[in-house]
């Protein structure tokens, strides 16, 4: 069958638009399908990180996105009696990926930029997906109001209520976290800003755990845990300790159930899911959208290799192997933070405070947020045992699969990385993760040969 498109991306939120832009930029014939022409004009995602900004560099929009971002302020955790018990912050410059490790952003203009870029390298159709027919060598898409379309692969980036996930019958695995919170976004006046803390704060108070976040410009967000049975609370009453309607404009208020869920399968034949379609996690480290961006950065280059460079289909199985485990490990970290913040028992909360202070040796020091992000495990990586394998490689100015050699002259970014890991060369994947390392030319040749074998391995069954 002659397919007009190689890949169809379903859903054009930030993750789907980035997926379409990545694929299209690689020369993959890409169709993006989205129900709504209108970009939601209020904030939902709040944070991104330096890995996401490097993905934006890969698709050519980082410079346009940057004015809509700001460094994430430190996050201070205050305990049951108002004492500082924990502090998260950022790595100091020089930044390994060229951007502040943690950032806040304005979603509506950034999403518009991503969709614009997707439209430059992929075809966008504003239609609704109704049905999928799976075959051995193609997927047929049935759309409302138009003829069916056949493509070689499908990537469902269509959110937590994913049509794609439901059509192929993939279920969620519950990671045992379930809390009701109210999320409130305000645009605050200068007078109001002067009354608010200059840094983000986690109020770990048993009476009502709350989060205060400093956004871009005058944007401030509060996340407030709801009491059992509490429905439709007045946001201004809950915010009265910080601010009043005289000093701010209510931008958005929405009740959310903070879940920890991960799809049992991320692939069904030629159909993949990514982003919120594949996982949901509490927002306590601002990693929700970042996880989705990692998904599509991981999957897009593998699709390109299979479609255009004759890599074996088995390479696509490493998408789930790598991303599912990574999501589960990071979600476990996020759950622990959520349990620290959300303790409702006063006695247990004070025990938590004492424990954290004892672990800190009586003095709270700033822990870099990016230290919370785990490496990739398993999947497409060298079989050698080395702790650098599966980590994110620092910015080297290049893209694609590559060998990076330790620079002869010390520089502030690459040289410290090679010194830390005690190696002379690194094989870096297109998504900037380390495939393998070497300390000699023969070792490098062996690692490259192993990589080639992994790419060309033919599976018995597909």
pLDDT over 70 percentage in the chain: 98
Judged against a pLDDT cut of 70, whether residue 461 lies above it is answered with no
Q: What is the pLDDT of residues 37-70, one digit of tens each?
A: 999 999 999 999 999 999 999 999 999 999 999 9
In 264-345, beta strands by DSSP E = 267-268, 271-273, 279-280
Q: CA 320 from chain center: how many Å? A: 15
> Residue 92: what pLDDT?
86
Cβ burial, residue 107 (10 Å; 0-12/13-18/19+)? buried
Virtual CA dihedral for 285, 13, 103, 321, nearest 10 degrees? 50
Asked whether the predicted pLDDT for residue 260 surpasses 70, the reply is: yes
Residue of 289, 280, 287 lying closest to 256 (CA atoms): 280
pLDDT tens per residue across span 224-259: 999 999 988 999 999 999 999 999 999 999 999 898
Q: What is the DSSP letter of 364?
A: -
Please enumerate in sequence order all residues whose Cβ is within 8 A of that of 164, keeping only pairs 6 or more positions apart, or say none.
Answer: 10, 11, 129, 132, 154, 156, 158, 271, 273, 277
pLDDT of residue 3: 62
Question: Would the pLDDT of 1 be above 80?
Answer: no
Is pLDDT at 296 greater than 90 in this prediction? yes
d(CA 5, CA 17): 16
Say what the pLDDT of residue 459 is: 40
CA distance 197 to 216: 14
With tokens 């393998």, the residue in question is 436
Region at 435 (left for phi over 0; alpha for psi -120 to 50; beta for the rest): alpha
The structural domains of the chain, ordered by start, are 5-69+102-173+261-328 (3.50.50.60), 381-456 (no CATH)
Is a pLDDT exceeding 80 seen at residue 462?
Answer: no
**Is pLDDT at 292 greater than 90 in this prediction?**
yes
In this prediction, residues 255-269 reach a mean pLDDT of 95
110-155: pLDDT as tens digits: 999 999 999 999 999 999 999 999 999 999 999 998 899 999 999 9
Torsion sign (Cα): 79, 199, 184, 241: positive
Name the band, by pLDDT with cuts 50, 70 and 90, for residue 362.
confident
285 pLDDT band (50/70/90 cuts)? Answer: confident
Q: How, if at all, do strands 149-156 and 47-49 pair?
A: unpaired
Please give the share of the chain, as a percent, with pLDDT higher than 90: 92
CA dihedral 225, 91, 109, 126 (to 10 degrees): -80
Per-residue confidence (pLDDT) for residue 47, from 0 to 100: 96
For 19, half-sphere exposure in the C-beta direction (CA atoms, 13 angstrom radius) is 38
Dihedrals φ, ψ of 452, to 5°?
A: -60, -40
pLDDT in tens, 76-95: 999 999 999 999 998 889 99
Look at residue 458 in the predicted model and tell me its pLDDT.
Answer: 46
Give dist(CA 211, CA 341) in Å, integer.
9
For residue 145, the model assigns a pLDDT of 84
Least Cα distance to 153 among 273, 34, 55 occurs for 273
DSSP-derived secondary structure for 367-413: EEGGGGPPPP-SSSS-SS--TTTTSBPPP-S--SSEEEEPPSS--SS
290 has a pLDDT exceeding 90: yes
Mean of the per-residue pLDDT values for the chain? 95
């Amino acid at each position: 069958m002659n397919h007009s498109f190689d890949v169809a991306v379903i859903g054009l939120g930030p993750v789907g638009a980035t997926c379409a832009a990545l694929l299209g930029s690689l020369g993959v014939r890409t169709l993006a399908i989205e129900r709504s022409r209108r970009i939601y004009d209020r904030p939902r995602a709040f944070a991104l990180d330096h890995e996401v900004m490097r993905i934006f560099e890969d698709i050519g929009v980082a410079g346009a996105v940057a004015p809509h971002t700001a460094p994430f302020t430190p996050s201070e955790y205050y305990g049951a009696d108002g004492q500082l018990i924990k502090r998260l912050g950022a790595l100091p410059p020089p930044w390994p990926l060229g951007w502040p490790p943690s950032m806040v952003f304005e979603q509506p203009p950034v999403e518009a930029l991503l969709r614009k870029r997707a439209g430059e390298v992929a075809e966008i159709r504003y239609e609704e997906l109704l049905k999928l027919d799976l075959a051995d060598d193609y997927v047929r898409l049935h759309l409302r109001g138009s003829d069916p379309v056949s493509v070689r692969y499908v990537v469902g980036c269509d959110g937590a209520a994913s049509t794609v996930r439901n059509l192929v019958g993939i279920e969620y695995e519950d990671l045992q976290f379930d809390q009701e919170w109210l999320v409130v976004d305000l645009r605050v006046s200068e007078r109001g800003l002067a009354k608010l803390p200059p840094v983000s704060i986690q109020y770990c108070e048993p009476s009502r755990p709350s989060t205060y976040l400093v956004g871009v410009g005058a944007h401030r967000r509060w996340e407030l845990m709801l009491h059992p049975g509490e429905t439709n609370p007045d946001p201004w009453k809950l915010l009265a300790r910080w601010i009043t309607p005289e000093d701010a404009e209510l931008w958005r208020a929405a009740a959310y159930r903070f879940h920890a869920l991960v799809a049992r399968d991320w692939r069904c034949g030629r159909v993949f899911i990514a982003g919120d379609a594949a996982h949901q996690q509490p927002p306590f480290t601002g990693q929700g959208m970042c996880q989705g961006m990692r998904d599509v950065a991981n999957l897009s280059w593998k699709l390109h290799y299979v479609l255009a460079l004759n890599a074996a289909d088995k390479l696509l199985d490493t998408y789930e192997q790598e991303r599912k485990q990574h999501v589960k490990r990071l979600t476990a970290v996020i759950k622990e933070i959520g349990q620290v913040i959300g303790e409702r028992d006063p006695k247990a909360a004070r025990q938590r405070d004492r424990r954290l202070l004892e672990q800190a040796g009586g003095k709270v020091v700033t822990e870099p947020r990016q230290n919370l992000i785990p490496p990739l495990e398993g999947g497409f990586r060298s079989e050698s045992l080395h702790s650098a394998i599966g980590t994110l490689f620092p910015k080297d100015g290049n893209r694609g699969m590559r060998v990076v050699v330790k620079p002869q002259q010390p520089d502030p970014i690459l040289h410290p990385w090679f010194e830390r890991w005690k190696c002379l060369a690194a094989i870096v994947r297109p998504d900037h993760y380390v495939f393998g390392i070497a300390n000699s030319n023969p070792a490098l040749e062996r690692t490259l040969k192993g990589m080639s074998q992994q790419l060309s391995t033919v599976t018995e069954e597909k």
